[in-house]
Amino acid sequence: MSKKFYITTPIYYVNDKPHIGHAYTTIVADVLARWHRQNKGDVFFLTGTDEHGTKVAESAAAVGKTPQEFCDEISALFEAKWKNLNISNDDFIRTTSARHKKRVIEIFNLLKDAKTPQGREVIYQGEYKGLYCTGCEKFLTEKELVDGKCPDHKTAPAELKEKNYFFRLSDYKDILRKKIEKDEINIFPVKRKNEALAMLEFIDDFSVSRETVKWGIDLPFDKSQKIYVWVDALSNYLTALGYPDDKNYKKWWPADVQLMAQDILKFHTLYWPAILMALGLSLPKNICIHGFFTINGEKMSKSLGNAIDPDELVEKYGVDATRYLLLSQFAFGEEADVQVARFPEKFNSNLANGLGNLVARVSNLLEKNKIPTDLRHDYNHDRKLTKEFEEKMENYKFNEALEVLWKRLRACDEILTKTEPWKMKNKEEIKKVLEPVAQDILSVAELLQPFMPATSEKIVAQFGAKQIKKGETLFPRIS
Ligand SMILES: [Zn+2]
């Protein structure tokens, strides 16, 4: 039986247009999903959109649309961008869909009856009073304010008091600490684990419903309330699997990898495991968190207008090159600068001159000299290369995994430069030089499949033939 692998991205908030940050998380998820499929894994890859909340309703009103119309439009935009990046998700969950709403209500009914490890009710009614930033759509603590203002929105939050239902997170503090410390929930990289443990000391019960929010799902046991963002959004990882009424969730849950950026670390490493424990479910195995990006050294922001649309990159470089350029530039997990200005240079040196030129030269020489080849093409053919590559993949070192492959490509180039087979006259002699190089190209192309699926497919078809022929130019140079 093949090993199941359930991987998720966060559901993206429709108040934001899809940008390079979303694209990065989603491409990483796609690479892992494809890699597991390639290794005969049974994969379920989920992404989607988070569509409720006051900000969404406000944005819809600002453009003269109903919230649902607005959500339909932006959600479709996300789906279209992912298609354009050749993302192989198996499902796309929306929090305004009937299947999600129905199951979130069931989840709330289960939580309503649940008890904490201390035997108290998980959900209780209380009064919330706090400083509320409408921009963030959350109450802020005094400590988070800078000069009395929200540091992100530069506006003073309003004092707000309302009836809420709460999740008794404080009762889960000890068990969460134990599970995170022992890596029962493996938080990657370690510095994010330490951040989660530090945040744990300051957590409090959190609201699961709101009176002031109008665009949301009705709380089943008190219709004066709407379900608030966290349980609604986080539940998507379960509702997409049909939890609790469809047994399908038993096949896929727990998630094997949950990916996200650092801004939602607290909700995924603390709130989410507590919700799962309250439901009596097991916890996700790996929570993988990447840092924020700057773009060409500047913070990505709406006002600067430097949030890059992934479609622009695809148009300029093509799908596979965009995926390569984004994942090869820096280590997963770190705060990083996306140096878009360096993309043309990198495209030309690593793709046009590197991979593309090597494939063209070798296939051209083999065709011109009518040299038949008999190459092995299976994933495990070059054990040394595969092992080195897999070690990087298992540790989420995607840039280094790609470097393993490019190191081999550079070695091939060196062989050609040194032996100059284009000057040779003897067919056997030429074959002796070119066949191992062609084999290396084929092995690299096999391993490259999760990152650059279309390019990999082309090269594998080309170099898998008995008589290799020159193909189309893979990466035309960019000026
Ligand atoms: Zn704010």
Alpha helices per DSSP H over 182-228: 190-200
Asked if residue 211 belongs to a domain, the reply is yes
Distance 119 CA to ligand 1 centre (A): 36
Ion ligand 1 nearby residues (CB, 5 A): 133, 135-136, 150, 152-153
Residue 168: both structure tokens together: 């008794």
The answer to whether 446 and 456 are in contact (CB under 8 A) is: yes
Distance 151 CA to ligand 1 centre (A): 7
Does the annotation mark 136 as catalytic?
Answer: yes
Contact partners, residue 280, CB within 8 Å, separation at least 6: 114
Look up the pTM and report it. Answer: 0.94
- 298-314 average pLDDT score: 81
Q: pLDDT (tens digit, 9 = 90+) per residue, 210-234?
A: 987 889 999 999 999 999 989 999 9
d(CA 47, CA 201): 31
Does the annotation mark 268 as catalytic?
Answer: no
Residue of 21, 19, 25, 3 whose CA lies nearest to 289: 25
Does the annotation mark 19 as catalytic?
Answer: yes
d(CA 401, CA 448): 9
pLDDT given at position 303: 66
Q: Residue 290: is its pLDDT beyond 90?
A: yes
From 4, 65, 112, 136, the catalytic residue = 136
CATH number of the domain at 438, please.
1.10.730.10
pLDDT given at position 162: 87
Q: Residue 241 burial (CB < 10 Å; 0-12/13-18/19+)? A: buried
Residue 404 and residue 269 share a domain? no
- 365-374 average pLDDT score: 95
Strands 42-50 and 91-94, how do they pair? parallel
d(CA 349, CA 347): 6
Residue 285 and residue 368 share a domain? no
Distance 52 CA to ligand 1 centre (A): 17
Give the percent of the chain with pLDDT over 90.
Answer: 84
- 74-100 average pLDDT score: 98
Q: Residue 247: is its pLDDT beyond 90?
A: no
Residue 365 and residue 237 share a domain? no
Asked if residue 332 belongs to a domain, the reply is no
Residue 142 and residue 66 share a domain? yes
Distance 149 CA to ligand 1 centre (A): 8
Does the annotation mark 22 as catalytic?
Answer: yes
d(CA 121, CA 168): 8
Residue spans of beta strands (DSSP E) within 282-352: 286-290, 293-295, 298-299, 336-338
- 381-386 average pLDDT score: 94
Distance 136 CA to ligand 1 centre (A): 4
Distance 148 CA to ligand 1 centre (A): 11
pLDDT given at position 439: 97
Range of the domain at 370: 341-463
Does the annotation mark 288 as catalytic?
Answer: no
From 40, 83, 102, 153, the catalytic residue = 153
- 447-469 average pLDDT score: 97
Distance 158 CA to ligand 1 centre (A): 11
From 40, 115, 251, 302, the catalytic residue = 302
Q: Residue 165: is its pLDDT beyond 60?
A: yes
d(CA 142, CA 148): 8
Residue 239 and residue 106 share a domain? yes
From 52, 55, 133, 412, the catalytic residue = 133
From 247, 299, 387, 427, the catalytic residue = 299
The answer to whether 123 and 137 are in contact (CB under 8 A) is: no
Q: What mean pLDDT is reported for the chain?
A: 94
Does the annotation mark 299 as catalytic?
Answer: yes
Q: Residue 397: is its pLDDT beyond 90?
A: yes
Angle of CA points 236, 25, 348, to nearest 5°: 155
Residue 90 DSSP symbol: S
Does the annotation mark 153 as catalytic?
Answer: yes
Does the annotation mark 377 as catalytic?
Answer: no
Give the percent of the chain with pLDDT over 70.
Answer: 99
The answer to whether 186 and 287 are in contact (CB under 8 A) is: yes
Q: Widest CA span of the chain, in angstroms?
A: 87
pLDDT given at position 302: 66
Asked if residue 300 belongs to a domain, the reply is no
Asked if residue 331 belongs to a domain, the reply is no
- 44-62 average pLDDT score: 94
Quote the number of domains for the chain: 2
d(CA 396, CA 220): 41
Contact partners, residue 397, CB within 8 Å, separation at least 6: 331, 332
Asked if residue 90 belongs to a domain, the reply is yes
Residue 355 and residue 219 share a domain? no
